[in-house]
Amino acid sequence: MLVEAGERILMASDFHLGIEYELAKMGINIPYQTERYMEELLGLVREHRPDRVILAGDVKHGVPITSFQEKREIPRLFNALLDEVDRVEVARGNHDSNIQNLAPEEVEIHPSKGFIVGGAFKVGVLHGHAWPYPALLNADLLVMGHNHPTVRLNTPLGVRVTQRAWVRGKLDPERVASAILGQDGVKFEGGAVKAFQEEYDVRVGKPQVVIMPTFNDLMGGLPVNSETPKSLLGPLFRSGAIEVDDFDVYLLDGTFLGRVDFLRTLS
């Protein structure tokens, strides 16, 4: 995803480099795909010439052990990106244990609670497996991965096809403010937004939310139009802070499929 926020920011999520090693332990042997993913990402960097590249978590796959494949290939990815762009940043994902030991010192590693980039137009970035910093609710755009969103399509022949997808919608400030206050144990009466702003000294906006598809096409995904499970992963979704029924779904090529609740009637 390319974002214009006072600078050109190229974002990608969920590479899960090293999954081939995990599959091999289960008896599934496939060639390493890192070179293909690197060329695809570097092609996008060379085409769009961003000022910075942000990887929204799960650059690596193995937890808690870091495989020899990850130790070899993740530094290669970072160094290749640094040859093309001045700034490379990572929002730490739940698979990114010890990634700081694999990254050159020029790569900025941010906490799992996320961070904000941009000026007049603010972009909050997090992986999605942890509660965000309260300041991220002041962003204009909130970007996360973690869920590997897909959509399940039925063909006329009765064959089900699953495709990676983008999911986009608006944050309900009252719901998310109430959820974060609750998980922090803050007691409040009346409007959650007002209480949130008083507790954290942060203005609550109504940011657009984008759930990014996984960059790694070997990874499985969660069909957002499936009734089971209906909820997505991560505390923002499990708590009900974000309800995706009225979110829009797009294929990777930008084809608009409709809202999640409509697509669920077709599954």
* Domain boundaries along the sequence of the chain: 2-171+206-264
Q: Say yes or no to pLDDT of 139 above 80.
A: yes
Q: What does the pLDDT average to over 128-157?
A: 92
Which pLDDT does position 125 carry in this prediction? 97
Q: Are 146 and 229 in contact (CB under 8 A)?
A: no
Distance CA 71, CA 55 (A): 18
- The confidence band for 259, taking pLDDT boundaries of 50, 70 and 90, is very high
Q: Say yes or no to pLDDT of 231 above 70.
A: no
Number of neighbouring beta carbons within 10 Å of residue 4: 11
Which pLDDT does position 142 carry in this prediction? 96
Please write the tens of the pLDDT for every residue from 33-48: 889 999 999 999 999 9
Which pLDDT does position 230 carry in this prediction? 62
Distance CA 32, CA 72 (A): 12
CA 145 to each of CA 6, 22, 69, 263: distance values in angstroms, whole numbers, following the listed order: 23, 21, 23, 21
Q: What does the pLDDT average to over 221-227?
A: 84
Percentage of residues of the chain with pLDDT beyond 90:
65
Distance CA 238, CA 148 (A): 16
User: In one letter, which amino acid is 224?
Assistant: V
- The confidence band for 227, taking pLDDT boundaries of 50, 70 and 90, is low
Instruction: Please say whether the structural domain 2-171+206-264 has been given the CATH code 3.60.21.10.
Output: yes
Q: What does the pLDDT average to over 125-134?
A: 95
Q: What does the pLDDT average to over 90-109?
A: 95
- The confidence band for 228, taking pLDDT boundaries of 50, 70 and 90, is low
Please write the tens of the pLDDT for every residue from 153-169: 887 787 888 899 999 99
Q: Say yes or no to pLDDT of 104 above 90.
A: yes
Which pLDDT does position 156 carry in this prediction? 79
Q: What does the pLDDT average to over 50-73?
A: 92
Q: What does the pLDDT average to over 19-38?
A: 88
Please write the tens of the pLDDT for every residue from 169-181: 999 999 999 999 9
Residue whose token pair is 């991220």: 136
Going by C-beta distance under 8 Å and a sequence separation of 6 or more, which residues neighbour residue 26?
Answer: none
Distance CA 257, CA 267 (A): 13
CA 77 to the chain's CA centroid: 19
Q: What does the pLDDT average to over 78-104?
A: 95
Q: What does the pLDDT average to over 8-14?
A: 96
**Average model confidence (pLDDT) across the chain:** 91
Q: Say yes or no to pLDDT of 229 above 70.
A: no
Going by C-beta distance under 8 Å and a sequence separation of 6 or more, which residues neighbour residue 166?
Answer: 149, 210, 211, 212, 213, 249, 250, 251, 252
Q: Are 85 and 45 in contact (CB under 8 A)?
A: yes
Beta strand ranges found along 22-117 (DSSP E): 52-55, 87-91, 108-110, 115-117
